[in-house]
């Protein structure tokens, strides 16, 4: 991931959220965002043939999504057999590739390992995380001592995504240090 990208992603995610009328404290709706950008979303269950039945599974080994070139645009194919929280994460990941203008052929998201790899993959992961739970939102949750489960519920994401964002945003560590400093300051005045 290029130097400075994480900082860039914080502000970019807030801009993307603002485009669909959201602040940092509301769940992100990737379907509204895709519609706003004119990106069609095709459900795997709407397709015909044996390939559909092969990929249309809810288990972790199944195809989660694909970013498919379509003329000068793209189409997102999503596995609608998977839980909605998983689908929202996949959608944000694929949308991050589009927003970041990553070059690709076909990007198949299978257990968060799509076909692009390297820095592009790391950037899409990080931006999608910021889209789902922005840094500002993670800090608000950390100030409120929210559990990972509460963070997942607040942003309509999986427990794994909530845990990742709360830990990697640094919000909890910063709040722990601030609380310790406040406790030390308060005890010195007694």
- Shared domain for 110 and 180, answered yes or no, is no
* 159-182 confidence digits (pLDDT tens): 999 999 999 988 889 888 888 887
Residue 32 and residue 109 share a domain: yes
| Parent domain of 154 | 133-185
* Distances, alpha carbon 104 to alpha carbons 66, 101, 125, 170, 178, in Å: 11, 9, 16, 31, 43
Please indicate, yes or no, if residue 173 is contained in any of the structural domains. yes
Number of domains composing the chain: 2
For residues 89 and 95, is the Cβ–Cβ distance under 8 A?
A: no
**How much is the pTM?**
0.84
- Two tokens, residue 68: 């498919």
**Best-predicted range by mean pLDDT (34-38, 46-50, 186-190):** 34-38
Instruction: Name 167's Cβ contacts closer than 8 Å, sequence gap at least 6.
Output: none
pLDDT in tens, 92-131: 999 999 999 988 655 455 444 555 568 899 999 999 999 9
Are 117 and 146 found together in one domain? no
| pLDDT band per the 50, 70, 90 thresholds, residue 32 | very high
* Residue predicted with more confidence, 88 or 181: 88
Q: Based on the domain organization, do 128 and 168 belong to the same domain?
A: no
132 C-beta neighbours (distance < 10 Å), count:
26
190 falls within a domain: no
Does residue 50 sit in the same domain as residue 128? yes
CA distance 84 to 88: 6
pLDDT of residue 71: 86
Is the domain of 120 the same as that of 161? no
For the chain, percent of residues with pLDDT exceeding 90: 58
Task: Name, in order, each residue with C-beta under 8 angstroms of 86's C-beta and a sequence gap of 6 or more.
Answer: 64, 158
Q: Once rounded to an integer, what is the mean pLDDT over residues 53-61?
A: 67
3-state secondary structure of 120: helix
pLDDT (tens digit per residue) in 20-29: 999 999 999 9
């Amino acid at each position: 991931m290029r130097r400075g990208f994480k900082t860039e992603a914080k502000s970019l995610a807030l801009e993307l959220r603002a485009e669909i009328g959201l602040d940092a404290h509301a769940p992100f709706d990737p379907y509204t965002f895709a519609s706003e950008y004119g990106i069609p979303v095709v459900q795997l269950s709407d397709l015909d043939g044996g390939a559909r039945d092969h990929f249309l599974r809810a288990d972790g080994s199944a195809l989660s999504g694909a970013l498919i070139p379509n003329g000068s645009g793209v189409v997102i194919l999503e596995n609608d057999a998977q839980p909605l929280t998983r689908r929202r994460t996949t959608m944000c990941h694929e949308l991050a590739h589009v927003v970041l203008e990553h070059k690709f052929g076909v990007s198949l998201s299978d257990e968060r390992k799509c076909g692009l790899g390297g820095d592009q993959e790391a950037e899409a992961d990080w931006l999608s995380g910021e889209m789902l739970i922005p840094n500002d939102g993670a800090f608000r949750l950390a100030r409120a001592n929210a559990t990972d489960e509460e963070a997942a519920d607040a942003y309509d994401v999986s427990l794994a995504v909530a845990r990742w964002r709360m830990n990697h945003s640094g919000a909890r560590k910063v709040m722990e240090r601030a609380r310790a400093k406040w406790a030390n300051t308060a005890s010195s005045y007694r």
